[in-house]
Amino acid sequence: MELLHCPTISSYSPKFIHNSVTLLVNQSQCSTNWLKPSINSSKKRSSPVLVINAAGGGDGGVETATETVEKPTAKPRAFEVFDGYPLPFGATARDGGVNFSIVSGNATSATLCLISRNDLPEKRVTEQIFLDPLTNRTGDVWHVFLKGDFQDMLYGYKLDGKFSPEEGHYFDSSKILLDPYAKGVISREEFGVLEREDECWSPMAGLVPSDVDQFDWEGDLPLKFSQRDLIIYEMHVRGFTKHESSRVDSPGTYLGVIEKLDYLKELGINCIELMPCNEFNELEYYSYNSFLGDYKVNFWGYSTVNFFSPMKRYSSAGADAIKEFKTLVREAHKRGIEVIMDVVFNHTAEGNENGPIISFRGVDNSVFYMLAPKGEFYNYSGCGNTFNCNHPLVRQFILDCLRYWVTEIHVDGFRFDLASILTRSSSLWDASNAYGKLVEGDNMTTGTPLSTPPLIDLISNDPVLRGTKLIAEAWDCGGLYQVGNFPHWGLWSEWNGKYRDIVRQFIKGTNGFSGAFAECLCGSPNLYQEGGRKPWNSINFVCAHDGFTLADLVTYNNKNNLANGEDNKDGENHNNSWNCGQEGEFASISVKKLRTRQMRNFFLCLMVSQGVPMFYMGDEYGHTKGGNNNTYCHDNYINYFRWDKKEESSSDFLRFCCLMTKFRHECESLGLNDFPTAERLQWHGHAPGVPDWSEMSRFVAFTLTDSIKGELYVAFNASHLPVTITLPERPGYRWEPLVDTAKPAPFDFISSDLPEREIAIKQYSHFLDAKLYPMLSYSSIILLLSPDSTV
């Protein structure tokens, strides 16, 4: 996620100023000031009188009105109230009841609010329990244990204390707060649809757990694939099946993805990386987009409301999101597909001081957020606030959350959005606070990058998490770029942004990148070898959700983001793209052929590079977003996987991708556990053993010994001129063509089941007999060594 993915609210930060966006909803729309019981509650009670905060609204920002309503007494509920336990945090079913526990050291009072599902839409509190600071508080933990009828019951908290933003405190006893440790969140039912006029922030509450909640894992166990063997598919749960052409029973949901898992298996995918599936509010950017005539939403989801809860509106109507997410993980594992979650611990949906009080801000703002001395929010995320990741309580919260997803939901790993923020020092940083002892010369200020950040240390050495995949997006919006230098403990991988940039430059024919391109093919040893890491620590990608799709990368020189309604000012300006001679989708046949060739070149490069390949959903059939490189706000065809396009005859590229992933899986040498040496790999130029690393070189070739395939010859000609190359001599063997991206489908990949295979191979024979091979401009090839039957 980059700066322009997060157009929540502009904010002032002493370290970072973000002025490119504005608040899209007024404060009355953002209000969570909706539940106000008017009387104190004893431990056992019935029929409390309630004050209801009526829905404010409208563009005028009219003050909300209140009215006193006597709650009906038809179904009184009685709860037995006990002191409770400080641990574990959150709501926990145990001993025939539920224990509630929340941490807030700066709160002066706490009230547990119980809300029935019927009362939630009407903004009513069903029952409230005031916590006695003498009996219901241990240290900074407020707790209570209840027995009673919790059927269809939700919960939240009211916390009181200072409301002093300049001191970092936002306590407001009128707000009902979502528990940061809630394991399920209930709010609106339908994605992107307002339930009440102008109400972008509808009431939210946490699920009260039940000890009868069971899920049949059917013996599911972690797949524990070696990371070097992964082929990662980055995907969006809703976007994957929402288009009508998906023809699934539950489009846009976890169940919809399950219906398409067999397709991913056929594609050669053994790991899916899900874009954010934690609870978020897709309506936080809600505003009319006159360009498309619809409304902008937070489609990508990089703005978390609750980190423990799966996104409710990705489940089928009225269903249990937790069970459906577990079902997705279980069914993926059955097909040999691991599940990695994209998590956003760098900021939350509460924005800066103008944002809503939903959860963390009202629980203990000065703990959860990185603050300047006068209470201003540091904005290293570009989204208004920065999570205070290396504060002791916050890092414990993050660890608890990751453990939950691994132990309870069975996910296989995490990709950490803007992970460099996780390495920055917390507010009020001091070494004794972090490590238990002083460090001589320690004068860290808030946000300073740490060489051994406590959070990363904690995650890396956690006995539960050590077996999971840990992937860092090793940069943030405050200018901290750590690709190749992210603190790793030998475990962390990185989204290799340098691989993306170098490969794009070389394949489009930019001079001066042949040597750097060769490093990319070897797993970027220049970045990872010195630090003791391996090729699999590099997550290689050419395109991701952020930026151009693969088809747009070869179709547009310039971004075309007008559909976002921001006058094309948003999104990245430096894309290293090339339109192959004409801008846009309407182009000559020769330009379109070159574009298809370039797409094959990029995909082939991904599959033959050491490291872990990752590509974005839809790139395998050539999905286009019309040149839009920042589609965060579109819940429409722009972001939807087009199953109809995949089925069209023009999707010969899909066949190529399937064969290339299959080939990678078959080759022992394309997923090495260490960087290749001269014993296995040799570099070549137009002549064998004579590589050209000069500034003007646009040709890179290598041979690679493979214990299964024998030997591979791979070459890239990124020049605008064709070339005839001389192949290495291998007495008793001959080179046979497998892949040539310049050939039309199906001859771009001569698979074993190709009907005209023998004829296609014979067409090369007169060249291969002479140890030669002709390569067209902007093309790449793979040749295989086989015994020479003529000898």
**Which residues are catalytically annotated?**
417, 473
Residue among 614, 767, 742, 641 nearest 231 (CA)? 614
CB contact set of 387 (below 8 Å; sequence gap of 6+): 345, 346, 347, 348, 368, 369, 370, 381, 394, 421
Is beta strand 127-131 parallel, antiparallel or unpaired with respect to 79-82? unpaired
Q: Is 525 helix (H, G, I), strand (E, B) or coil?
A: helix
| Residue where the block lists tokens 């407020």 | 142
| Structural contact between residues 570 and 4, judged by C-beta atoms closer than 8 angstroms | yes
Instruction: Note whether 410 and 222 are within 8 A (CB).
Output: yes
How would you class 524 by CB atoms within 10 Å of its CB: exposed for 0-12, middle for 13-18, buried for 19 or more? buried
Residue with tokens 């959070």: 455
Nearest CA among 662, 548, 621 for reference residue 231: 662
Integer Rg of the chain from CA: 28
Neighbours of 28 (CB within 10 A): 21
At 729 the three-state DSSP class reads: coil
Please list the helix, strand and coil fractions of the chain in percent, rounded to the nearest 5, in that order.
25, 20, 55
- Kindly write down the DSSP assignment for every residue of 351-416, as one continuous string: -STTS---SHHHHHHHHHB-B-TTSPBP-TTSSS--B-TTSHHHHHHHHHHHHHHHHTT---EEEE
User: Looking at this protein, which amino acid is placed at residue 368?
Assistant: F
Determine the residue type at 142: W
With CA atoms as reference, report the closest residue to 288 among 60, 61, 24: 24
Q: Which residue stretches of 522-666 are H helix?
A: 525-528, 550-553, 589-608, 643-647, 652-666
73 burial level (CB within 10 Å; 0-12, 13-18, 19+) = exposed
Residue 741 corresponds to which amino acid? T
